[in-house]
Amino acid sequence: MTLALSVVRKTILEEHALIKGKLSELEKLVTQEKAQSIKNVFEEFSSLFLKHLVTEENLLVPALADIDAWGSIRVEKLGEEHAEQSRILKDLQTLVQEKSFTEYKKDLTLFIKSIYEDIEREEKDFLSADLLKDDLVTSGH
C-alpha cells in the first residue's frame, strides 16, 4: 500500500515532535544532573528513535526515491545519516549505562544538539510541503 505524500510527511513530522519532546526532557535532566532519570529517559528515547528510523526507511525513503531528479541523492544522504546516528546512539547507550554522569555528559549533550539540528535539516530538505505534496505532476506519457 502506497501512502499519499502528505500522509508520509504528517507521520514523520508527528514522530519528530515526539522525539523533540524526549530530547527536551533529556536536556532538563542533564541540567539537573539526575543520572538515574537520564538512564531511564535515554532508554525511552533510544527505543523511540530507533523505531523512527525504521519508519523513515519504510515511508520516507520510498517517497523520496522517485519524487524528482535528486531523489536518489536524498535517499543516499538519509541512509548515511541514519547509519551514523545509529552508531553514535549505540555508543551512547553503552556510556549511559556503564559510565558515570560526568563521563557521558558532554557526549550526550552534543548528541542531543545534533539530533535537534538533524531534525531541522531533515524537515527543510526532505519534508517540506513543497516537496511532499500530493499533487505532484510527473512527465509520464
The angle subtended at Cα 91 by Cα 62 and Cα 18, nearest 5°, is 50
pTM greater than 0.75 (yes/no): yes
The grid coordinates of residue 51 equal: 523505531
User: What are the structural domain ranges in the chain?
Assistant: 5-124
> In sequence order, what E strands does 27-133 have?
none
Tens-binned pLDDT, residue by residue, of the chain (141 aa): 578 999 999 999 999 999 999 999 999 999 999 999 999 999 999 999 999 999 999 999 999 998 888 999 999 999 999 999 999 999 999 999 999 999 999 999 999 999 999 999 999 999 999 888 886 444 444
Q: What is the CATH number assigned to the segment(s) 5-124?
A: 1.20.120
3-state helix, strand, coil split of the chain in percent (to 5) is 80, 0, 20
Contacts of 60 (CB under 8 A, 6+ apart): 8, 12, 78, 126, 127
